[in-house]
Structure 1
Amino acid sequence: FDVPDVEKRIYYFPQWGKPGAKWHSPTTQFIRTKIVDPATGEKLTEVGSVGQLMYRGPNVIPCYFKNPDATEKSFDKDGFFNTGDLFEIKENGCIGFFDRAKDIIIRGGFNISAQEIENMLLGYPDVADVAAVAMPDERLGEKVCVYVVPKEGRKITLDDLTTFMKEKGIATYKLPERLEIIDAIPRNPVGKILKKELREDIKKKLESEKGL
């Protein structure tokens, strides 16, 4: 199963997985999963579609205790729980992790996986660490901004990165349009990138540049 924290999540998905994967633990038989359109909630089945992963079963909570608002946001009318993860439907009934829904960058109506950008740029020889986030844009809604920690003694430009990515064959609309060089990527105690901080940072910088 192509998803972070595989060993913790493997129990939930008895039918779908990454081709050739071998599990170390048996899967739960009574979990039901589906991929839905984030905007409409309709079930997606077409190969290549990207949607939110939802599941239900005997080991999934039916609601949030004394919190009807959170329950309404996280569960559909059939009791499926919304994980907040986006998955792509692949061949042979498999699904693969695409990105966290809140981290998706929507540029002119096109969904861009921040994780895809990060994974590619981590392959650039001079990059030590990287985070990709959405930055506001009046015309397109959002554009890609990357925060990069260069390796010691190295200098990196936006042109360096976009040239590298083009050589890797990435679609033009996914290319970063702003580069911020920083000393360290902000992370929480378990190592997750604090993207909210970075989104707020670039928003403030853009406002300052416009004199707002």
Structure 2
Amino acid sequence: MKVDNLVVKVDNKEILKGIDFELKDNEIGVIFGQNGSGKSTFLQTLMGFSDYKVKNGQIFFENQNITNESIDKRAKLGMGIMLQKPPVIKGVKLIDVLKLLNNNEEEILNLAKKYNMESYLYREINKGFSGGEIKRSELFSLIIQSPKLALIDEPESGVDVDNLKLIGEMIKNLIQNRSGIVITHTGEILKYLPDNSKGFIFENGKVIKKGLAKELFKDIKKFGFRRGDES
């Protein structure tokens, strides 16, 4: 995944202001930043959501320029996303969507047993789910999809301690031998990510500092985000 000088507008307001970002195969990138810094906009732009208008720059994935490609094309190339606040989908059961992602029902059932997700399969998507249940359902869908690049938006937000451990283990398994971009606000998810994960601090639609994710987060805890642009 490579992003060059990405400028994005939402409702005619410039949100991303020249983002440069690169991950090699099997690398994990972690994005930090305050609310409104452009983190979620960045992930949803990468996935191709239509509300996010690319005004300048390019997005490359699997040696292809995907800047103007559809969500469907990006998914077929191997991209998948877990949204921070996914919608409730009434009348559609989780198993129905999972079969679209992977037509091997036996594999789905085996993985559901492995991740203790069997009771979720025949429920309507996210209807009546707790915060932790929504996160687990979304992550399980990603596991079934098995993308080359997993985009994960604040997996620990609104999650209790017990669910955080389950979610962390799911992410740890999901990103083995593949690439991922994870947004975190609390940093709790870092304990489940590789020590060599790359970190990026976003501020006002720009990347203001890069480095090892766990080292950057130590600085953030000490000094806050405003020190992010200091060496």
Fold similarity call, TM over 0.5: no
Larger radius of gyration: 1
Q: Which has the higher contact order (CA 8 A, sep 6+)?
A: 2
Q: TM-score, normalised by structure 2?
A: 0.21
